[in-house]
Structure 1
Amino acid sequence: MALTPDDIGRIAHLARLELEPSERERMLAQINGFFGLVERMRAIDTSGVEPLAHPVAAFEDVQLRLREDAVGERDERDAMQRSAPSVERGLFLVPKVIE
């Protein structure tokens, strides 16, 4: 999938970027180079290859250091909402800003 200069112009417009012609050409080459790399990787047969949890796991046994899943903070919602101008059922109420 190769992009055209028009595609780069449209993407720049959507991203609100102002690109000089030389920047557009450089961006086109870089993005098309990236897409080329993705296509080359897609062409490789990876059936039967197990996914790795860590890239080093291909060479040595890696034990992931996982921390205990424990609550780190107390529930202080009531204390935090005491200073709020308006609260209902544990939710902050704000003025309507969209008609």
Structure 2
Amino acid sequence: MQRETTGILLRNGNPQGDPTTASRCGARTRLGVPCRAPAMANGRCRMHGGKSTGPRTPQGLEALQKAHLKHGRYSAQSIALRRYLRRLLANSHATLERL
């Protein structure tokens, strides 16, 4: 019994449907035989594809920092602004007390 595929590709570039029809990794294992795991878009499986080395350029580093920013509450600029406002409020209270 064979399933029909709809032509839609999965995130790893393999066709939807029967996983046995996916392309194989083919990297050499420790035993010296080709790996038989399904390949991702880069042609290797999740074990042999290698980890990301991270951003190398200043633009890549900046993009990574922006991606990890959630709200900015604890950024240096926000902390400095809150300290300034606290000092300003304390000075205002002190001035009102003197009047």
Higher relative contact order (CA 8 A, sep 6+): 1
Larger Rg computed on CA atoms:
2
TM over 0.5: no
Structure with a larger share of its residues in strand? 1
The alignment's TM-score, normalised by the length of structure 1, stands at: 0.22
Structure with a larger share of its residues in helix? 1
